[in-house]
Amino acid sequence: MENFIKKEEIVSILNNPINKDPKFVRETLDYARSVQNNGLSLQQIACLLQNTDPEVEKEIVEIAREIKSRVYGNRVVLFAPLYVSNHCDNICDYCSFRHDNPSEIRKFLTNEEIKAEVAKITELGHKRLLMVYGEADYSMKTMMSNIEAAYSVRTGNGANIRRINMNIAPLDVADFKELKKANIGTFQCFQETYDWDTYHKVHLKGKKADYMYRLYAMHRSIEAGIDDVGMGVLLGLHDYKEDMMSLFVHAKQLEKDFNGVGPHTISFPRINPAVGAELSYNPPSPVSDDQLKRIVAITRMAVPYTGMIMSTRENANFRNWSLGAGVSQISAGSHTTVGGYCRKEDEEHTSQFSLNDDRSLDEVVYDLAKNGFIPSFCTGCYRRKRTGEVIMGQLKSEEGIKMTCMPNAISTFSEYLRDYASDKTKEVGKELVENMVKKAPEHLKPYLQDTINKISDGENDILI
Ligand code: SAM
Ligand code: SF4
């Protein structure tokens, strides 16, 4: 296995004097803005990361906003995390789940408890779940039965979770193949930091200390047939410019090895205080709000067709800003405690880290709709086999998005408004839907109106 993250090359691209050449800066911005932008080169990304000119900085955000609006429209996909187990054999210096944390009360949900949690989440109106586990010695059989339990839950009106994504430790190919049989959507796993020395400094014990095994996790997942993969770095561990450049090297390596299939999503976890994990209170390379904003905007320009996720680690204002500049998915109404949706009282003892956005799902939905974003509960791509190469191809055609993602967002949001929304959310939501139908291409209007009528008559899950 080759380590394709070559630190010296990355540092030299970042320090290349061409990054300061006004002509190169101009060409980079113009290319990024153009419809031909199919992804920036490493040198172009480095040029944007190294910029110090406030005028260029403004233009970076402006371009990110244009791309977001052109590629994704006003849709924002919503999901809820479900923490299944905080048992963990690893010692990651920044995480409360670390094996040597005596203040963490360990809990592995039983299938009955999983069903109770999923029922609560479903009753809020969620359709997408991200199941999260610490890394301990549990069998694939257990994990598969957990997933089956979560998919089996039905609440009022037959509501259920329609897509489960997994944030878990890397598996080998055989286990990924098993996981695929359980019908999961995305395999998500963050490298945390790509810097070899920092990685080993903060991953002190357990399987996770094996950098190369983690680096090739996405390769094994795609090889096993799970071709929607989610990547990220844990911001605060190492110089963010180097780590983001490395993440793009990783993404390009996947594209090279798998016929153009890069990451389905990129997440932006920033270290939050975590009880029992000293480092989290004083991260070695803290990332400021302004720096995280640049990271978001530059990522939107660097990989225009990759989904971007912002979790409740960030506060409501920051998340609202990030939606305009590139983020396409957010979690909402989240608990990062094991069993937290059913029982809130021992939050601090089983949680992974503290959260900064405690709005309910309904409040998030209201804020989105009020700001002109349509909350989408769509799970159509995965269920219609639009993954990997297929979804990338579709995203690159504006017509493709108008024909599928936008109608599916309207359909799933209408279901949400009918079954779960508060009166004030219903009011802004209905107005938004009406406006979207008015602005839709003529040939789509009859389909949209028909879908809305069917949903108000009680039909569910109308998807293209
Ligand atoms: N145990 C698996 C792993 O480490 O890949 C998956 C679950 S882990 C709970 C999910 C992610 O949480 C980690 O990859 C890490 O990036 C993030 N995380 C850990 N501690 C954090 C903290 N203090 N603040 C913010 N995010 C944190
Ligand atoms: Fe365990 Fe993951 Fe937390 Fe590390 S980040 S201690 S592997 S749960």
Ligand nearest the Cα of residue 133 is 1
Nearest to 93 by CA among 322, 217, 314, 274: 274
Q: State CA 341 to chain mean position distance.
A: 20
3-state helix, strand, coil in the chain (%, to 5): 50, 10, 35
Report the DSSP pairing between strands 91-92 and 203-205: antiparallel
Q: Which atom of ligand 1 is nearest to the CA of 270?
A: 25
Ligand nearest the Cα of residue 230 is 1
Average pLDDT per consecutive 10 residues, the chain (464 residues; last block may be shorter): 96 98 98 96 98 97 96 93 97 97 94 97 96 94 97 93 96 97 96 98 96 98 96 98 98 96 96 95 97 98 96 93 96 91 66 80 96 90 61 57 79 95 97 94 90 91 74
Ligand 2 centroid–CA 90 distance in Å is 6
Task: Annotate 407-429 with b (16+ C-beta within 10 A) or e (fewer).
Answer: bbbbbbbbbbbbebbeeebbebb
Protein residue whose Cα sits closest to atom 6 of ligand 2: 98
Q: Which atom of ligand 2 is nearest to the CA of 208?
A: 7
Task: Check residue 401 and give its pLDDT.
Answer: 58
Task: Annotate 274-283 with b (16+ C-beta within 10 A) or e (fewer).
Answer: bbebebbeeb
Ligand 1 centroid–CA 218 distance in Å is 17
In a 13 Å sphere around the CA of 16, the CA atoms on its Cβ side amount to 19
Task: Check residue 379 and give its pLDDT.
Answer: 80
Evaluate whether 266 touches 309 at the Cβ level (below 8 Å): yes
Ligand 1 centroid–CA 255 distance in Å is 25
Task: Check residue 398 and give its pLDDT.
Answer: 55
Measured between alpha carbons, how far is 363 from 157 in angstroms, rounded to an integer? 22
Ligand 2 centroid–CA 352 distance in Å is 9
The 10 Å Cβ neighbour count of residue 365 is 30
Three-state SS at 320: helix
Protein residue whose Cα sits closest to atom 16 of ligand 1: 234
Nearest to 3 by CA among 139, 195, 150: 195
Task: Check residue 462 and give its pLDDT.
Answer: 75
69 contact partners, CB below 8 Å, separation of at least 6: none
Ligand 1 centroid–CA 81 distance in Å is 12
Measured between alpha carbons, how far is 411 from 396 in angstroms, rounded to an integer? 22
Task: Check residue 347 and give its pLDDT.
Answer: 52
Task: Check residue 358 and give its pLDDT.
Answer: 87
Ligand 2 centroid–CA 113 distance in Å is 22
Task: Check residue 391 and give its pLDDT.
Answer: 53
Nearest to 79 by CA among 308, 297, 278, 361: 361
Three-state SS at 83: strand
Task: Check residue 126 and give its pLDDT.
Answer: 97
Ligand 1 centroid–CA 316 distance in Å is 21
Structure tokens at 143: 């994990």
Task: Check residue 404 and give its pLDDT.
Answer: 75
Evaluate whether 237 touches 192 at the Cβ level (below 8 Å): yes
Give one DSSP letter per residue of 156-185, joined into a string: GGGB---EEEEE-----HHHHHHHHHTTEE
Task: Check residue 396 and give its pLDDT.
Answer: 60
Ligand 1 centroid–CA 177 distance in Å is 24
* Dihedral sign (CA 236, 61, 397, 258): negative
Measured between alpha carbons, how far is 277 from 370 in angstroms, rounded to an integer? 38
Task: Check residue 455 and give its pLDDT.
Answer: 93
Protein residue whose Cα sits closest to atom 2 of ligand 2: 134
Pocket of ligand 2 (CB under 6 A): 88, 90, 92, 95, 97-98, 134-135, 208
* Residue from 85, 190, 278, 285 whose mutation best tests the ligand 1 pocket (most atoms within 8 A of CB): 190
Q: Which residues pair with 75 in a beta bridge?
A: 374
- Is residue 45 exposed (0-12), middle (13-18) or buried (19+ Cβ within 10 Å)? buried
Pocket of ligand 1 (CB under 6 A): 94-95, 97, 132, 134-135, 167-169, 189-190, 192, 234, 269, 271-272, 274, 280, 313, 352-353
Q: Which atom of ligand 1 is nearest to the CA of 313?
A: 25
CA distances from 357 to 4, 116, 123, 333, 363 (A): 37, 23, 20, 8, 11
Protein residue whose Cα sits closest to atom 1 of ligand 1: 134
Measured between alpha carbons, how far is 344 from 438 in angstroms, rounded to an integer? 43
184 contact partners, CB below 8 Å, separation of at least 6: 147, 164, 165, 166, 226
Ligand 1 centroid–CA 51 distance in Å is 30
Evaluate whether 242 touches 195 at the Cβ level (below 8 Å): yes
Structure tokens at 184: 């999961």
